[in-house]
Amino acid sequence: MSSGAEVAPGDRQLQPEREQLPRGGARAPHRAELARAYNQYLTVEGEGDETALVMRPLFVTSVLLDLLLGEEAPDRVQTVVLTSASSKTAYRLAHLLSERPVQTIGLTSAGRLAWVQSLELYDAVLAYDGLHDLRAARRRTRRLCR
């Protein structure tokens, strides 16, 4: 595929050769402000490597969020509430936050509540419909975090 080639509207797969990918990642002006991690192309060598394509950006996102919380407000952040607590990004971030003196509360669907609790990564886990219990959960777990 040549640079600037049009892709038909029905095409679902773009398969450039490795040497056609720009070294260092995307260089489009509209992506210039993004973190470098979000401008890198990932390639896989063989069957089964697709998991890396999915997991790596999620891992990078959780690490960047953890770094942001640690750098921007290390003494001011007492509680972090993570929505979609069953998502890979959220529970990876909860794991990273467990190394900090911060309380983590996960919010998830009622159907995923038991599974998220079984991860034992959050100080408290609430279903979305139990959001009114957030303040009580924060008070209850704050004592455990000190």
Q: Which two tokens stand for residue 81?
A: 């509430």
Cα 98 to Cα 137: distance, rounded to the nearest angstrom: 17
The set of residues, in sequence order, having a beta carbon less than 8 Å from that of 97 and lying 6+ positions away, is 66, 69, 80, 104
Q: How many domains does the chain have?
A: 1
Cα 113 to Cα 76: distance, rounded to the nearest angstrom: 29
In a domain, 4, yes or no: no
In a domain, 13, yes or no: no
β-pair partners for 105: 81, 124
In a domain, 87, yes or no: yes
In a domain, 49, yes or no: yes
In a domain, 9, yes or no: no
Q: What's the pLDDT score for residue 42? A: 65
Q: What's the pLDDT score for residue 130? A: 84
In a domain, 71, yes or no: yes
The pTM (predicted TM-score) of the whole model is: 0.66
Q: What's the pLDDT score for residue 69? A: 87
In a domain, 2, yes or no: no
In a domain, 3, yes or no: no
CATH of the domain at 123: 3.40.50
The whole-number mean pLDDT for each consecutive block of 10 residues of the chain, a chain of 146 residues, reads 47 52 64 72 68 75 88 80 94 93 93 97 92 74 50
Residues of the domain holding 125? 18-145
